[in-house]
Structure 1
């Protein structure tokens, strides 16, 4: 893997308490949080920019509905005072958040995406990042999703949903790498 730009931003997507709710079902990548913490630690040590993205749902049934504990960041992902926080209401972190402008003002053209849900907020954000011209990496083992029921009632495993989503992203929008590859690229 090539060297990671000194100004590359780490975008941590929706790592909030609500994502641990049992109603979301079976998930994949049980080591994803550990990998995200490794990346966050590396970003902080190398003084690269970190953006924490918080989903604020418009649906009262959501695990990210305002006024409940699910909207809070997980303990391992509480932003430091010099780290940027974006709040979004739709899966794509670029929609109506000012993220694109914030990145451009700071001369940031390289993004590394981690978080949840692979086939929702991660994929939506990666698609926009690629379309907007950002050089984007999605870290496959630092993201996860849940089993998904399709319109015919078939349940697809989280592993399959994750793999297909990463394939969608890799087709046109971002490179797909592992935590180890990204950390090695920081040297």
Structure 2
């Protein structure tokens, strides 16, 4: 079975202090391990970047922060596109159509931020009928509204599992 790896918003702008304290310092290594495995198996890889419309965001197009982080250098991506909202299914490309045209019914989600774009893409993917696997340790997020990044990541895992949107796994379990 063909499974697409969808890597969301792994951009330099998330290194900016603008975001605050993050969790999961191993996320980049886990994302890289997934990318390496997908490239070795010649499975489809989709890279998505967030093109913020907010004037103070480090993720605005034309800013260095909009560029992908170095762990994506040399990655053989089958599809690369931008989005302005949380879901990769609502980006500059019809991701659902792209996947269906290739007969892909199974996706793995990794990237930044766990509780924002990664969770939203997983929920929409689940709603569209995809078999979604969420590599929790290949994501990270930031403290928000009095909750720690770790608490938000756990809430995402609960939301996705409990809501039936995705199977939540570690990178090791996935590989």
Could you say which residue in structure 2 is the equivalent of 1:38? 33
Aligned equivalents of 2:46 and 2:33: distance in 1? Answer: 15
- Partner Cα separation in structure 2 for residue 128 and residue 168 of structure 1: 13
TM-score (norm 1): 0.89
Give runs of ≥4 in structure 1 deviating > 6 Å: none
2:172 matched residue in structure 1: 180
Which blocks of at least 5 consecutive residues in structure 1 are unaligned?
150-154
Note if 1:162 corresponds to 2:153. Answer: yes
1:83 CA drift (Å): 2.4
Give the conservation status (yes or no) of the 8 Å contact 2:47–2:77. no
* From 63, 69, 73, the counterpart of 1:68: 63
1:31-110 alignment, distance < 5 Å: 31-78=26-73, 80=75, 82-96=77-91, 97-110=93-106
Partner residue in 1 for 2:108: 112
Aligned pair in 2 of structure 1 residues 164, 82: CA closer, same or farther (>3 Å)?
closer
Q: Kindly tell me: are residues 79 and 13 of structure 1, through their superposed partners in 2, closer, same or farther at Cα, counting changes over 3 Å?
A: farther
Which structure would you say has the larger Rg?
1
Aligned length: 173
Say if 2:35 and 2:75, in contact at 8 Å, map to a contact too.
no
- Normalization by structure 2: what TM-score? 0.95
CA RMSD of aligned residues (A): 1.2
Listed one character per residue, the Cα deviations across residues 133-182 of structure 1 (whole Å, up to 9, x for unaligned) are: 00000001101110011xxxxx1111001100111111220000010111
Secondary structure, counterpart of 1:113 in structure 2: strand
